[in-house]
Structure 1
Amino acid sequence: MTNVEEISVSKIVGQSVRPRALLFSAGMVVLSGLLLFCLLLRVMNYEVRKDEQLYVPPIRLLDQYQLYTDFFYNHPPGSAWLFYGIGKIVGSDHLMLAGRVSIFLTWILLLAVIGWITYALTRSALVAWCAAVLTVTNELFLSQTGMTATNNLLPLPFSLLGVGLFVLAVKDRRALPLVVGAAGFCLSIAASFKISAVAFIPPVAIAAFFLPRGYQFRQRLLRVVLPLALGGLLGGLPILVPLVSDPQMFLAHVLGYHTGPHLQYWQDPAVESEGASVSWAAKLLLAQSVWLSATVAVAISAVLTLFLAWFLSPAGNERLLVAPLLVVAGAFVCSVALSLIPTPGFPQYFGPPLICLPLTLALLYAGLGHETRRYMQPGLIAATIVVLAVAAPRLAQYLPTVSHPERWTVLRVHEAGETVAERLAAAGVSGKVATLSPIYPLEGGLPVYQELATGPFAYRIADIADPKLAAFYKMTSPTTIGALFDADPPAALLLGFDEVLERPMLAYAQRNGYVVSADLGIKDRYGAPVLYVRPQAD
């Protein structure tokens, strides 16, 4: 064949392939938009969970109270201030809406980080898209972990970005100090949302003393270790400020609570498990159900296939990023260990190790030769199609609510709060509302007791907490709440969420002649609450 004929054939082939490539790219864009829209609907419609009674109230409480000092909060301050800031930006009095918007924005950031890091390593938009889809379809992330206004999802994009930036900064012979500093900043910011995110810091900190391998030790100290430490200090300010200003108060809430009365509470046989795993055997079984769920198993299969492709392909040996892979492996091991340490264990505790999967996939793909990459792409696409098919029922679950936004959970919760406020106004009473679900009265603009402002988490351990530790908590207990009400009678009590914990509150309402209000139209997975209104004569 002559050169002219070869050129003509290549042009014809190029013209035939190009429309299919454009059609495929357009399909990816449309499907991505649909996935994000389904994700938004799921976040806005997912049922209210008890943990949100802790995380959402600070959106309003921080206007007049100080974190830890004036109300109980058993986590680092990052999530409280993020939700509060988003609430101010949104400029709405819909508290649950602000919290869930924060979670959706976190999803956008997580997927953007996965796509960007994967593309930076592989220069393949297709692989980047597959890595993002393999994450968004994860069963754990489509449940309470990634749908509710809590701190479970918040640290993940920052942890992934921190490890990814460090890998990008040191994978070549020359380090990038600014990128290393940004990695340290992101890793510390992640820990300001949730303490378990510190699991990703040790492997990166250790690797900073050994990478890049072409540097002398002194060079690594100046161009890697020092920028990482400075970035980490800057990102750690949300934790360092309260830790330095009042270390006992901060540590009592963030560490003392979880290692003391919280553990003691869940070890009580009379307490319902609510999905908690106390024994090591139960935690291992829970971890297995999370880490080897259907969609995760498919993602792991894709990663193992890439690993075998590299192992059996000598052409890719020189391109494999061994040192970065060791960093990711260290992050995986540390996050697995820290997931198993807390007692009791809950499903959301086992989410952090899963973000190592897309980064591992990207690194392995980057280590393949050109021809091997081409042969591996159909397998990645097939894995992506499988996880989309598995997750489709969950993702499409709330599509019917598109035409009825008033039925969305975030709007129904706000409407319920307004209903409570209207009932009190109609009864001619004003004052605080006593409840273990403070989101509802706060949504209605009503005041709540500081001792109950973040739900049942301090209330239920108050009678068993060590007095020295309890002195740092603004709280009341089932045995002391009667005295609190006698000194400052509630305008109303919103009860019906926890029969056991609410017994003293119900007894107070019945003893003092509180009037039962008509059906409020409020119902969540914990019950259909009843409003007890103070008699007008009082």
Structure 2
Amino acid sequence: MMRDGLPYRDFAYLQTPLQPLLFAPLAWIAKGWLFPALRAVNALLAMGAVACIWLAARRAGASDRGAAIAAVALLSSHMLLFAGSVARNDALPLLLMTAGLAAFLSVVRDDRDRWPALLAGLLLGAAASAKISYGLPAAAVGLFALLHWRTLGVGRVGLLAIGGVLGGVPTIWLAGLAPDAAWFGIIDYSVKAPVEWRTLNGQAFMLHWPLSLGRLMRHLAQGCGLIALVAIMLVATRRRTMVERLLDMMIVAGLVAAWLPRPIYVQYLGPLLPALFIRFALLTDAPFWRQQVIGHALIALGIIAGFAETAMEVGANIRMRHSPVLAVVRDARALDRMVAAAGISGRIATLSPERAVDTALPIDRRFVTGPFLLRTRHVLTESQARAFHATTFQTLATDLDVLPPAAILIGGEGQPSQAAPHGLDALLADWARSHGYRSVPLPSGAMQLLLPPLHRRHQDNVK
């Protein structure tokens, strides 16, 4: 979508906007291969976060052994493995957060370092500009700096603040261009839409604290996170160094960031894990930990637990000789051949836009958020939806009647639910059927391409 415009102003975007701005060149560089390219970039960003957490742990005062434990703990966490193996916006803010923390720790531990404070602020502010939940641990760093301004010095605190503002410029700029759409995408959607969707599906219990706490503990247990958190809590009353106070403030902020969105998913641990694992690295350097066999056994267990789900999924794909990424690429190539043979031009509508980014047809901007806005019933008014270039459950049929798509891709959102008994894709399929579109299966077997009737294609080509 960055080929055609900017987030909020020209198409709906449901997060802070740094990632589409930074990744925009890929839309041209990797044209036709954008989906695998984005996944490869995220894998590299995830590995960069692992390298930065090792550096941050060393700057926090951990030994090489302790820093290695922090790096392996992050590398083996299901959160990082998930972030690094999909085309989402979780790996970039995680890298920016760990790099920013490494820069700030050099300021905290070295009275002579001054300019790294500017870099730290820039990176931490940029992390929040990539994903809003990272704003909480970034704010914790700012609060720490204010509380310790005499020790850090006014100059370094000022540079940190200036860097933070610079990191927030992308969000401030684009929010200024389309304030209502930006407020909805960054704040309103995450507050209102998940609650509405779960309530419509009779799953309000997923929003309540008992299950949310269980889900948080479960995701922490998919790696060394739960072990690290318990170990840190056991020493919470002990006297702490300045670095430990900083990390503890960030851990509290990270826990709040992971707790606030409902339901809780593993990717929400991103703002928590960097400070958590660095603090844990400092603990593992203590003599009482080095001498405990059970401590090393628990770390090994956490590493195994973190890799487990990914290993099972990869193993299943190997046994079936199946690559999800290549399946998407093959479908895109087949779709292009069908569209070319039918002489179709225009835009493609789909609730699975990740499966259409590498097709010749551009994506209809009303569907760029995939299923997320189509689920909503009363979160947006009809006028808001159209002002934000989006379509919702209420406006879908009218929007498609006014501007019919050149083709429709379905198959990724067929899961039935109480609010959509035949799946969300059924809404598109029903409209297409009533307007004479015909269905053609794609090679994956999971997706179908819906092509318009011949008279519609002729009219579109004449236009």
Q: For structure 2, list consecutive stretches of 5 or more residues without a partner in the other structure.
A: 415-421, 457-463
1:345 alignment counterpart: 264
Matched to 1:352, the amino acid is: P
* Structure 1 CA distance for aligned equivalents of residues 383 and 113 of structure 2: 48
Q: Identify which of 208, 213, 235 aligns with 1:284.
A: 213
Pair 1:180-2:109 in alignment: no
- String of CA shifts for 1:422-441, please: whole Å, max 9, x gaps: 12223343333222112333
Q: Identify which of 332, 344, 367 aligns with 1:452.
A: 367
1:205-354 equivalences under 5 Å are 205-211=142-148, 214=151, 220-221=153-154, 223-269=155-201, 277-293=206-222, 295-300=224-229, 322-354=241-273
1:488 alignment counterpart: 403
* Structure 2 CA distance for aligned equivalents of residues 481 and 386 of structure 1: 49
* Structure 2 CA distance for aligned equivalents of residues 214 and 434 of structure 1: 57
1:153 alignment counterpart: 91
- String of CA shifts for 1:336-395, please: whole Å, max 9, x gaps: 1232223343332234222222210344467x5xxx499559877655544444455556
Contact 1:277 1:346 in 2 (8 A): no
Superposed displacement of residue 109, structure 1 = 1.2
* Structure 2 CA distance for aligned equivalents of residues 243 and 512 of structure 1: 38
Q: Identify which of 413, 418, 424 aligns with 2:328.
A: 413
* Structure 2 CA distance for aligned equivalents of residues 295 and 269 of structure 1: 33
2:443 alignment counterpart: 521
1:52 alignment counterpart: none
Q: Which moved more, 1:176-185 or 1:79-88?
A: 79-88
TM-score, length-scaled by structure 2: 0.84
Pair 1:75-2:12 in alignment: no
Per the alignment, in what secondary structure is the counterpart of residue 64 of structure 1? coil
Per the alignment, in what secondary structure is the counterpart of residue 115 of structure 2? helix
Contact 2:223 2:303 in 1 (8 A): no
Q: Which moved more, 1:118-127 or 1:145-154?
A: 118-127
- String of CA shifts for 1:211-241, please: whole Å, max 9, x gaps: 37657xxxx22x2221111111121111121
* Structure 1 CA distance for aligned equivalents of residues 299 and 261 of structure 2: 33
Contact 1:87 1:98 in 2 (8 A): no
Aligned residues between the structures: 447
Per the alignment, in what secondary structure is the counterpart of residue 409 of structure 2? strand
Larger Cα-atom Rg: 1
Q: Identify which of 18, 26, 45 aligns with 1:106.
A: 45
* Structure 1 CA distance for aligned equivalents of residues 427 and 290 of structure 2: 67
Distance 1:377 1:437, change over 3 A: same
1:388-467 equivalences under 5 Å are 388-391=303-306, 393-394=308-309, 396=311, 398=314, 407-461=322-376, 464-466=379-381
Matched to 1:332, the amino acid is: I
Per the alignment, in what secondary structure is the counterpart of residue 516 of structure 1? strand
Superposed displacement of residue 521, structure 1 = 2.0
Distance 1:133 1:474, change over 3 A: same
Per the alignment, in what secondary structure is the counterpart of residue 336 of structure 2? helix
Per the alignment, in what secondary structure is the counterpart of residue 186 of structure 1? helix
Contact 1:178 1:227 in 2 (8 A): yes
Contact 1:302 1:383 in 2 (8 A): no
Superposed displacement of residue 420, structure 1 = 1.3
Pairwise CA RMSD = 3.3
The percent identity for this pair of structures is: 25
1:536 alignment counterpart: 454
* Structure 2 CA distance for aligned equivalents of residues 455 and 424 of structure 1: 21
Per the alignment, in what secondary structure is the counterpart of residue 272 of structure 2? helix
Q: Which moved more, 1:132-141 or 1:322-331?
A: 132-141
Matched to 1:520, the amino acid is: L
Matched to 1:248, the amino acid is: D
Distance 1:332 1:472, change over 3 A: farther
* Structure 1 CA distance for aligned equivalents of residues 284 and 37 of structure 2: 38
Pair 1:203-2:125 in alignment: no
* Structure 2 CA distance for aligned equivalents of residues 375 and 432 of structure 1: 61
1:169 alignment counterpart: 107
Contact 1:516 1:531 in 2 (8 A): yes
* Structure 2 CA distance for aligned equivalents of residues 74 and 159 of structure 1: 20
Superposed displacement of residue 280, structure 1 = 2.1
